[in-house]
Amino acid sequence: MLPATTFCTIKIDSGSEVSDEERLKLQRNLRKDLLVFSDVQHAEAAFASAPVGAKSSGIDLQSLVVTLAASGGVITTMIGVMQSWLSRREKTSVILEIGGDKLTITGASSDGERRLIEDWVSRHKS
């Protein structure tokens, strides 16, 4: 069973040729889609690491920090939202991370990817 609140980091990989403006647009679109999903309590832009000596770090245009409510199927439903979002974007993938455990999801779902998703979800249900 999930703890009362679970934090998940989502990193959007859209390739090196995408502009910062497009990265921000992708991040905002995914955030909007995730917030429609009722068990996502919060989805906010992550902060980028600051180089040594810098005054502030700024926003990481490729990452979201998501707060999930503990309820049955919350992770599976969130992954479904992301797969739907990815299906509308070529050459984009997302990397989910909970407690150091990472899962990469692409727009083209294969049998192998489905098995990886099922295994990853199983590890985070208990």
How large is the average pLDDT for residues 66-85?
A: 81
Give the residue numbers spanning the domain of 23. Answer: 5-125
User: Cα separation of 93 and 12, whole Å?
Assistant: 6
Tell me the pLDDT band of 88, cut-offs 50, 70 and 90: confident
pLDDT of 53 over the 60 cut: no
Provide Rg for the chain, Cα atoms. 15
Structural domain total, the chain: 1
Q: Which residue reads 């009722």 in tokens?
A: 38
What CATH number did the domain enclosing 11 receive?
A: 3.30.70.100
Number of other CB atoms surrounding residue 56 within 10 Å: 7
> What per-residue confidence (pLDDT) applies to 71?
63
pLDDT in tens, 35-52: 887 577 778 887 766 555
Tell me the pLDDT band of 1, cut-offs 50, 70 and 90: very low
Number of other CB atoms surrounding residue 48 within 10 Å: 15
